[in-house]
Amino acid sequence: MAEKIDQQAINEQARSDEESCRMESKELRRKKRIKCIVLFIIVQIIQTLILSLTVMRVRTPKVRLGTVTFPNLVTGTQFIPYFDLTMMAQIKVKNRNFGPYKFESTNATFTFQGVTVGHVLIPEGKAGFLSTEKVSVTLNMSSNALMPRFSRSLGSELGAGVLTLNSQAKLSGKVTLMLVIKKKRSAQMNCTLAINLSAKTIQDLNCR
Ligand SMILES: *[C@@H]1O[C@H](CO)[C@@H](O)[C@H](O)[C@H]1NC(C)=O
Ligand SMILES: *[C@@H]1O[C@H](CO)[C@@H](O)[C@H](O)[C@H]1NC(C)=O
Ligand SMILES: *[C@@H]1O[C@H](CO)[C@@H](O)[C@H](O)[C@H]1NC(C)=O
Ligand SMILES: *[C@@H]1O[C@H](CO)[C@@H](O)[C@H](O)[C@H]1NC(C)=O
């Protein structure tokens, strides 16, 4: 009889242990689930942050002059100053966005001390995903517009053997991200080029 009671007590004890164990595991599961949800939210926030800092960030494209050559270059002297030249130039549109940059056609202007000496049309185009579009242009320039006001300063540059010109252009366009998000961005070119007249090459090219 005593043994039977003992057995019953043991069984009861075991049952209550099992019960509390199940309760405990339920509580544990609940905590685990909350942990999982919090972790998921944190991962989402980090992903959104990374996306907005990389893929979704809109960077203004850069425009600069690349290779420049002179198939034709005729210049006068310090005392009879003039120039007549044909320039072949590469215009580079660098797009650092995770999507294409489409730009409208625009004029690039070349100036000598602020006076326009030549311009050329940059046709509309597209710089792809993280790439640089190279546009080749050819134009003629002459010193006609500089005379007679700038004959002295042109003369001194010709005498020194280096002609300094400035090149500017403003590209208007749109960056497309994730195929649908469009952001307007205009890119500005502002380069100073020093032409070595005896070598007929670019001696110094500075773009800002
Ligand atoms: C470029 O300049 C030419 C001549 O000045 C002008 O006729 C033309 O409309 C200009 N094109 C653009 C896109 O600004
Ligand atoms: C530049 O001038 C030369 C003649 O001096 C002419 O043959 C050529 O077509 C001109 N090029 C441009 C782009 O106007
Ligand atoms: C132009 O280039 C030539 C050859 O590279 C060089 O000897 C000369 O010094 C340069 N002229 C100037 C004014 O720097
Ligand atoms: C272009 O750059 C020069 C200096 O390199 C600066 O003086 C000039 O203001 C700039 N022009 C524009 C339109 O940003």
Instruction: Please report the DSSP string for 149-178 in residue order.
Output: TTHHHHHHHHHHTEEEEEEEEEEEEEEEET
The residue type found at 95 is: N
66 lines ligand 3 (CB under 6 A): no
62-207 CATH: 2.60.40
Ligand 1 proximity of 50 Cβ (cutoff 6 Å): no
Q: Is 196 in the pocket of ligand 3 (CB under 6 A)?
A: yes
**Is the pLDDT reported for residue 2 higher than 60?**
no
| Burial (0-12, 13-18, 19+ Cβ within 10 Å), 85 | buried
User: Would you place residue 25 in the very low, low, confident or very high pLDDT band (cuts 50, 70, 90)?
Assistant: confident
Residue 47 pLDDT = 87
Distance 108 CA to ligand 4 centre (A): 14
Q: For residue 76, with 0-12 CB atoms within 10 Å meaning exposed, 13-18 middle and 19 or more buried, which class applies?
A: middle
The per-residue pLDDT for 21 is 64
Strand partners, 12: none
Q: pLDDT tens digit string along 143-163?
A: 999 999 999 999 999 999 999
Q: Is 161 in the pocket of ligand 3 (CB under 6 A)?
A: yes
Pocket test for ligand 2, best of 140, 141, 144 (most atoms within 8 A of CB): 140
Task: Determine the pLDDT at residue 20.
Answer: 67
Angle (nearest 5°) at CA 191 between 190 and 196:
160
pLDDT of residue 50: 85
Placement of tokens 């926030």 in the chain: 45
pLDDT, tens digit, 9 for 90 and up, residues 71-102: 999 999 999 999 999 999 999 999 999 999 99
Mean pLDDT of 63-72: 96
User: Which residue type, as a one-letter code, is found at position 12?
Assistant: E
Instruction: Using the mean position of ligand 4's atoms as its centre, give its distance from the Cα of residue 190 in Å.
Output: 6
Query: How, if at all, do strands 83-94 and 115-122 pair?
Result: unpaired
- Mean pLDDT score, 28-52: 89
Residue 6 host element (H or E): helix 2-53
Find the 72 Cα to ligand 2 centroid distance in Å: 10
Atom of ligand 2 minimally distant from the CA of 139: 13
- Rounded CA separation 106/167 (Å): 13
What digits encode the pLDDT tens for the residues 178-194?
A: 888 999 999 999 999 99
What are 160's two structure tokens?
A: 């020194």
